Amino acid sequence: MPIGIFDSGYGGLTILKEIRRRLPQYDYLYLGDNARAPYGSRSFELVYDFTLQAVNALFERGCQLVILACNTASAKALRSIQQNDLPKIDPSKRVLGVIRPTVEALPGVSASKHIGLLATPGTVASHSYALEMEKMDPEMTITEHACPMWVPLVENNEANSPGADYFVKKYIDEILAKDTLIDTLVLGCTHYPLLIEKISEYVGSDMKVISQGALVAESLADYLSRHHEIETKCGKEGGLKFLTTENQEKFDEIASFFIDSEVHSQRITLQSPCRSETSELLESIKEHMPEEAIPLLDAFITLYPSDDEAYTIRGIKHWALGQRSLAINNYLSAIRINPESRAKMALQAANDILDYYNKDLLNP
Ligand code: DGL
């Protein structure tokens, strides 16, 4: 079974490359959610939802272990997936991130104990690096700075353009102005190694610039040596496959540039996990209808407002409240979005019940 490596786009390839260099014997399956990248400016809920979909897709393809080779996903989704989802999906599977292995390697690298973190707005807003660092070595100072333009530059193959020079200079100047004692810059986004030459050139040789690939690879090697129950399940034929949610020709062309070898990917579509959870939800609604279920229904509807499942649930809610025509309108909306929607069954049931009552009314 392959080790799954996930990123919102191409950035995780910088991690994959180092992992393969360190652990060439294993099989790997890479998934880039390129169709929905970048994740860096997206909300917590969306990053969590998308990441869970990706992890499920890799599990379905046999992965026992998935590495979130994306700081944004590690910052916003890893903990919830480990604590809430894995026990339900399969407690024997594992999902690991890239933030802890990076932070673990930092004490000792900075003489001034002042570190600068360059990352996406999502990673910075989560303060995951500062929180991990606080646990690891409270004497270190970490200054976090968001670089929203760097991922789009890399994703659009503009990492060597004059535009990239401008934005490298801009964000480096900004972070160094926040703390003049910084002597080490950490590239806390897996896309950024593509800009490392420009960054190193601009900051000069007195500043250490650290990218994560080798650190994550070393930490994975250590993890596998300590977890035989996982290690024995990892395929060892040196295989490498790629999945993308975008056009595969485009992925193959750009990805080959990241890992310096030919890439032949397969396109997949990621599905909302709420679909697979719907039957569970419907069961719990049946048990608690109507009052206790209403907050649960509302929470679901807010999370997936335009989804056919949300319309189905809205219909069920209105039905529970006795608002029959509103219920039926919602079922119809669900069917318009997805002709195979479960609302079809609900609508059929609603019609049957109405038929029954009509008959009853006609023949008291
Ligand atoms: N490569 C990802 C990371 O490490 C994020 C890129 C994105 O914004 O999608 O944070």
Pocket test for ligand 1, best of 128, 154, 189, 211 (most atoms within 8 A of CB): 189
Q: What percentage of the chain carries pLDDT values higher than 90?
A: 66
**Region 9-27: what's the mean pLDDT?**
97
Distance 40 CA to ligand 1 centre (A): 6
Locate the ligand 1 atom nearest the alpha carbon of residue 37 and give its number.
Answer: 9
| Distance from C-alpha of 309 to C-alpha of 296, rounded to nearest angstrom | 14
Distance 12 CA to ligand 1 centre (A): 8
Distance 189 CA to ligand 1 centre (A): 5
Pocket test for ligand 1, best of 13, 18, 72, 98 (most atoms within 8 A of CB): 72
CA 203 centroid distance within chain: 31
Q: Is the dihedral angle over the CA atoms 329, 331, 334, 340 positive or is it negative?
A: negative
pLDDT tens for residues 219-267?
Answer: 999 999 999 999 999 999 999 999 999 999 999 999 998 898 899 999 9
pLDDT tens for residues 289-308?
Answer: 556 667 777 777 787 777 88
Pocket test for ligand 1, best of 120, 212, 254 (most atoms within 8 A of CB): 120
User: Which residues does ligand 1 sit against, CB inside 6 Å?
Assistant: 7-9, 11, 37-40, 70-72, 120, 123, 151, 189-191
| Distance from C-alpha of 53 to C-alpha of 355, rounded to nearest angstrom | 40
Locate the ligand 1 atom nearest the alpha carbon of residue 191 and give its number.
Answer: 1
Annotated catalytic residues are 70, 189
pLDDT tens for residues 181-214?
Answer: 999 999 999 999 999 999 999 999 999 999 999 9
Sequence-separated (6 or more) residues with CB below 8 Å from residue 75: 97, 99, 122, 123, 126, 128
Task: Return the H-helix or E-strand segment holding 335.
Answer: helix 324-337
Distance 22 CA to ligand 1 centre (A): 23
* 287 CB-contact burial (10 Å; exposed 0-12 / middle 13-18 / buried 19+): exposed
Distance 39 CA to ligand 1 centre (A): 6
Locate the ligand 1 atom nearest the alpha carbon of residue 98 and give its number.
Answer: 4
Whose Cα sits closest to atom 2 in ligand 1?
70
pLDDT tens for residues 307-331?
Answer: 888 888 888 777 767 677 777 888 8
Residue reference for tokens 């994740």:
39
